[in-house]
Chain A
Amino acid sequence: MFDQARIVGAFESPRRKTDLHPFELFREVVDGALADAGLTRAEVDGLCVTAGDVAEGGSSEDVIEIAEYLGLKPTFFDSTDVGGCSAIYQAGVAAAAIEAGLAEVVVVAYAACPRRYPFYPPITWPIGPGAHEMPYGYSSPSAYALFAQRHMHQFGTTPEQLAQIAVVARANAALNPDALMREPLTVADVLASPGVSTPLRKLDCCVVTDSGGAVVLARADRARDLARRPIRILGFGAQVTAVHFSQQADFVTTPGAVTGARAFGRAGLSPADVSVAQLYDAFSVTPLLALEDLGFCAKGEGGPFVESGAIAPGGSVPINTDGGGLSSNHPGKRGVFALIEGVRQLRGDGPGHRVPDPQVSLVHGIGGFFSAAATLLMGND
């Protein structure tokens, strides 16, 4: 799909708790990814960030704030905020910019420190459409719980099947020295954890960490001379749908159904070709819906598919190999970490479980309350 763009660098901060200002974390991961690629800030002409929430340090002109902090004056930039999948979307946009000759070296970075700056702005304002929604108390757990509840009603999905997704993530995190949660976890542990919003329990929900990460994309002819083997983007798709609960289509289908089809279609690949998948796990139900919507199993079959062991190491599609948001890190938006782990798996240096000889690495995320999705397929050059 993209002949000219390659992923040439990736870096995840080992931090999970910090007193640093988020902009310092942005600096750390941008420099880390550039060093990984064998590049310097002077060679960067494109910058993609999402930094407009308090925990991310910025405001409405966040990309300008980060550029200023890093001493960059990029001629290609993006600060699209579509929630957790923003960085995955931005990687696709950055590749398109390189393809079009708008940029040669683009950094996609994200960092946030929600532990010190925990204010989460409302998803919409209580005026206009939001006047009929926000008074009811929107929250991420409740939004995802509405989907989980409907899926259980319609397809018989069980709390045990959802818990199994958390168990797989924890087993992978146990191998990752930087993961926040590494102690062994069982299905019974998940079911015994305190309730948050039915049917989701605390261990169905992601961790909250101060974290940052960045990837670097470069034009293919530059990539050839850099430090790491370049990675190709084979396919990409993205979509936004709706932000309010009343506007959701059916509470069992996510925009992944569209973004997966677009990504696989452009790549000329199918789910059977995927060696390893990072499926954004803000909550246990999220990867289950992704498995269905991306076509790894039929709609409604996510529970039995998970039970079969397909998503665990050795299965047909190991997921969230570094421990994911459920066990490794989640600072508010996790798309950049899914990108980084997707790259690490192809390079063979993932910190958690390593899938042997991967050919196609899938990275998929949703954003907001299943309001957006982005899917990206990558492979070694």
Chain B
Amino acid sequence: MLAPTPVETPHDKPYWDAAREGVLLLAPGGRSPGWGSDGATDPAVWRRSAGLGRVFTYTVVERSFYENVPAGTILAVVELDEGVRVTAHVIEAADGIAIGQRVRARFVDRDGMPLLVFAPDDAA
């Protein structure tokens, strides 16, 4: 089983266009970065996130059900400084992470679509 590749729609096109440029946009309505609400097809109503946040909770996958989410993957919920939470992987954390740890957003390519991930950033 493979964890799926996201499918873009006109509703969240602004998010994916920005993600391809390495920019994290927050949707109107403040629910979660990629979630659109009224008017979301207009790129002008999206806010740009500074890309910084803290780990709210996490788990290290030890027995994986997905070939493309290997054992050792850190699955986390990150609370951005803007107050919005997002599901993501935390990478470059060989020593593990902690709740409350500062992390910085980055986009990596997976199967042709940008995947939002975070890396520890103690200096942030």
- A residues with CB within 8 A of B: 122, 125-129, 131-139, 141-142, 145-147, 149-150, 153, 194-200, 202, 244-248, 251
Contacts and interface: CB of A to CB of B under 8 A. Distances in A.
Nearest to B86: A246
Given A135-B110, A146-B77, A127 B7 contact: yes
B59 A197 contact: yes
A131 B6 contact: yes
A235 B57 CA distance: 34
B73 A247 contact: no
Interface in B41-69: 56-66, 68-69
A136 B110 contact: no
B119 interface: no
B75 interface: yes
Nearest to A146: B57
Given A132-B86, A136-B69, A136-B88, A198 B62 contact: yes
A131 B7 contact: yes
A245 B87 contact: yes
Contacts of A202: 63
B87 A133 contact: yes
Interface residues of B, number: 41
Given A134-B4, A245-B77, A246-B87, A129 B32 contact: yes
A247 B59 contact: no
B56 A196 contact: no
A-B CB proximity, top 10 nearest: A137-B69, A132-B34, A131-B6, A195-B62, A145-B59, A126-B4, A127-B7, A137-B3, A150-B57, A198-B60
A145 B58 CA distance: 8
B38 to A, nearest CB: 15
Contact of A135 (B3, B8, B11, B65): B3
A146 B63 contact: no
A135 B115 contact: yes
A246 B59 contact: no
B104 interface: no
Nearest to A154: B99
B33 interface: yes
A247 B64 contact: no
A122 B75 contact: no
Nearest to B35: A129
A129 B62 contact: no
Contacts of A135: 3-6, 110, 113, 115
